[in-house]
A and B are shown apart, each in its own frame.
Chain A
Amino acid sequence: MGHAIRVRGLTKRYGEVQAVGGLDLDVEEGEVFAVLGPNGAGKSTTVEILEGYRQRDAGEVTVLGRDPARPTREWRSRIGIVLQTADDRAELTVRETLRHFATYYANPRDPDELMEQVGLTDSAGKRIRQLSGGQRRRVDVALGVIGRPELLFLDEPTTGFDPEARRRFWELIEGLAHDGTTIVLTTHYLEEAETLADRVAVVARGRVVAEGDPATLGGRATAKARVTWSDGEVETDNPTAAVLQLSRRYDGEIPGLTVTRPTLEDVYLRLIDARDPLSGGVPVTAAAVPVESAS
Chain B
Amino acid sequence: MTTTPAAVPRAAVPLPSPLRIALARAAVETKVLFRERDAVVFTFALPIVFLVLFASIFSDSAEGTGVTVAQLYTAGLIGSGVMGTGFQNLGIGIAGDREDGTLKRLVGLPMPRAAYFIGKIASVLVMTVLQVAILLAIAVLFYGLELPAEVSTWATFAWVFVLGVSAASVLGIAVSGLPRSGKSATAVISLPFVVLQFVSGVFIPITQLPDWLVNAASIFPLKWMCQGFRSVFLGDAGAALELTGSYELGKVALVLAAWLVGGLVLCVTTFRWKGRRDG
Contacts and interface: CB of A to CB of B under 8 A. Distances in A.
Interface stretch (B71-79, B107-115, B201-209): B107-115
Given A78-B10, A92-B32, A179 B279 contact: no
Contact of B100 (A14, A76, A87, A149): A87
A22 interface: no
B9 interface: yes
Contacts, number: 115
B277 A106 contact: no
A293 B105 CA distance: 18
A213 interface: no
Interface residues of A, number: 49
B15 A106 contact: yes
A170 interface: no
B244 interface: no
A31 interface: no
A181 to B, nearest CB: 5
Contacts of A265: none
A107 B31 contact: no
Contacts of A90: 100
Nearest to B24: A103
B224 to A, nearest CB: 35
Contacts of A78: 10
A103 B115 CA distance: 12
B257 to A, nearest CB: 31
A105 B16 CA distance: 6
Interface string A165-189: 0000000100110111100000000
Interface in B71-104: 97, 100-102, 104
B103 to A, nearest CB: 8
B57 interface: no
Contact of B112 (A73, A113, A143, A291): A73
Contacts of A267: none
Interface in A46-61: 51-54
Interface of A: 14, 51-54, 73-74, 76-79, 81, 83, 85-92, 96, 100-101, 103-107, 109, 113, 117, 127, 143, 145, 147-150, 172, 175-176, 178-181, 291, 294-295
Interface of B: 1-7, 9-10, 12-16, 20-21, 24, 28, 31-32, 35-36, 97, 100-102, 104-105, 107-112, 274, 277-279
23 contacts: A14-B279, A53-B107, A53-B108, A73-B110, A73-B111, A76-B108, A83-B101, A87-B101, A88-B102, A91-B32, A91-B35, A101-B109, A105-B16, A106-B13, A106-B14, A107-B12, A127-B35, A145-B1, A150-B6, A175-B1, A176-B1, A179-B4, A180-B7
